[in-house]
Every structure is written in C-alpha cells, then in structure tokens.
Amino acid sequence: MEHSHPILSRDYRLNTPTLLAVVQNACFKVLMRKTGVVYTGEPRVGKTVCCEALLEEIPKRFPNVYVVMIPAMNKDADALRYSSIIHQLIDQEGILPKARTSFVQRRSMLLERLKTRAELRNAKQIVLLIDELSRLSISDYKQLADIYNKLRADKITMTVISFAMPSIDKVVADFLRNDDRHIIGRFLSDIRPLHGVTTIAQLNQVLKLYDDCAEEKLCGYSFTRNVLPQAYTAGFRLTSIAADLWREMSRIAAGKYVNNLPMEHVALVVAYLFLILSDEDSEALSVPQDLIEEAVRESNFKDFCKNVTDMKA
C-alpha cells in the first residue's frame, strides 16, 4: 500500500450508524429552528468526524442556510493562547481588524459579516458548529448569547450544534449555581449522548462500509476490493472477521469503552490489517486470530483505555 492511500491517510469518511443518526437529528434541529443541541461522547468515539460531516451535509439539505464551524480554543481566559468566541469567529471569517479596534467594534464587524453571509444565500438562519465545546469559557457562552440576540433582532435565527466531552454537565451545573438559566435554555438544554461501536452488529455494519460503500472518488466503492482484489473476487469480505475483532477489542476495553469501542481505534485496526494483508492478497486469503490480536495491539487500544479511564470508576 502506498503511503498516500486513503486508508493510511484517513482521508475518507464512513457513514457509520452513529454518524447517520447525528446527521439526521441535527438536520431536524435545523429544520425546526432549534437554538442548540450538544452531542457528548468519550474521546475518539467520532465527535469531530460527525461535526465535519455536518459541515458538509447541512448545506446540501438546506442550501439557504449559512453554516460555519470552529474548533473551540482554550477556555482559560488568563492563558496566553486564550481566544474568545468572538475572536475565533473573526479569524474563521477572515476578518482583519486593526490592532486598536475595540472588542465592541470587532463584535459589530463579525455581526455584519454574518448578516452579509446570510443575505448572499437569502437566508434567515445561521448554523454554528462548535467542536470541543467544553473548552469555551463562561464569558464565551455569554458572548455567544449576545450574538444570538443581535442576530435575532435582525430576524436571523442562529442554531448552535456542538460536540463536547460528558464533563459538559459541570458547565451546566456552574450556570445553574450562577442562575444563568438563559444560557442553558439557549445552548445547553438539549444534551444527547454520542457512542462509538456498541454491538457486534454495529461493528459488522462498519466493516461492511469498507467492503461495499467507500467513496467512489477514492477506491471505486470498496476499500476491500481496492486493497485485496484477488481475495475480494473470491468472496472475501472484512465482515467475516467481525466476531473475532469484537471479541478481541472487547477483551481489552475498560471503563467507558466497554461496549463502546472508539471508532478511531477500529479504523486503526482496519488500516493495519489492510496494510499487512495487502502483501498476501490471494484467492485463498484468510485472517488468522493472531493477526487480529496484533492489529488491536498496534492500535494502542489497551494503553489508551488504561490512560484515559478512571479505573476506580
């Protein structure tokens, strides 16, 4: 396999059951002009991939809606790399204020740019996608509320779709203690769990995507056929290893990853298998158990679980 192959560069997207569910639910929120929804999940289950998918899918379904995405920056307002939500959006929109431009002026420049973006699409709705929402500060949420209110005064609805760690519950608790219920009502009242691969049936569906439903522009619909043409022609499918792979990864999984395999590690295992098997392609190809164990080991899944899981829990 070439170093530039999409399997190794991860330059592809699988429409997994989790991703499709998020796209369907988020698009419903956009359709109904909801103000906000937050999808929470453990590290590496696929939150960023889902966020990036929405950036692509929402404009397809709602061409008159302006969609912008930002990865949230450090929430520590005293940190050197601190960047408020206003500054992040200004950077994303390519606005270049002068050094002495005040914060209020910068916010006005941002609002004018967003309104212009909406007008160009004859739109009355803006969708803001935020990845790593947990990194925002309390003041960021208040600035976000100001943006929402200013746009609403101009008859433009803003829907905020965010992705965060489950610890976002602590942010909600902070707002409750400070009686900032309007912030919760705007952006944090609809919090939904986002899981990885939770059953062997789901794993089978994911592996089937490698067999049959890869992007045509990359590998002619099938990664398996592209990497293992002889085996594929003879009937080999990656789904044939679903039970063995599920058993091995489940044996290692710990804490929040029991029956919740992170999609990133599943993809790493598949990439390793394709890499090794590509040199052994034949009509009689089979995947031995020790190779599956080796692939899971090389994905670093065991150490990952050990390092991120609260073993006491």
Q: Is the pLDDT of residue 224 over 80?
A: yes
Containing structural domain, residue 166: 17-193
pLDDT digits (tens, 9 = 90+) for 239-280: 999 999 999 999 999 999 999 999 999 999 999 999 999 999
23 shares its domain with 167:
yes
> What is the per-residue pLDDT for 112?
97
pLDDT digits (tens, 9 = 90+) for 141-194: 999 999 999 999 999 999 999 999 999 999 999 999 989 999 999 999 999 999
Q: Is the pLDDT of residue 80 over 60?
A: no
> What is the per-residue pLDDT for 216?
55
Among the listed residues 177, 167, 188, 174, the one whose alpha carbon sits nearest the alpha carbon of residue 256: 167
30 shares its domain with 81:
yes
Of the residues 176, 193, 210, the one at which a domain ends? 193
Give yes or no for a contact between 16 and 46, defined as CB atoms under 8 angstroms apart.
yes
Q: Residue 82 domain-assigned?
A: yes
243 shares its domain with 158:
no
29 shares its domain with 162:
yes
Mean pLDDT, rounded, for 123-148: 94
Q: Residue 312 domain-assigned?
A: no
> What is the per-residue pLDDT for 312?
41
> What is the per-residue pLDDT for 1?
80
Among the listed residues 9, 113, 134, 11, the one whose alpha carbon sits nearest the alpha carbon of residue 68: 113
Q: Residue 230 domain-assigned?
A: yes
Q: Which DSSP string do the residues of 90-118 spell out, in sequence order?
A: HHHTT----TT--HHHHHHHHHHHHHHHH
Q: What Cα–Cα distance (Å) separates residue 300 from each residue in 72, 103, 296, 303, 304?
A: 27, 45, 7, 6, 6
81 shares its domain with 157:
yes
137 or 27: which leads in pLDDT: 27
pLDDT digits (tens, 9 = 90+) for 20-64: 999 999 999 999 999 999 999 999 999 999 999 999 999 999 999
144 shares its domain with 244:
no
Q: What is the CATH number of the domain that holds 96?
A: 3.40.50.300
128 shares its domain with 155:
yes
Of the residues 151, 167, 193, the one at which a domain ends? 193
In total, how many domains does the chain have? 2
Of the residues 193, 218, 245, the one at which a domain ends? 193
Looking at the whole model, is its pTM more than 0.95? no
49 shares its domain with 150:
yes
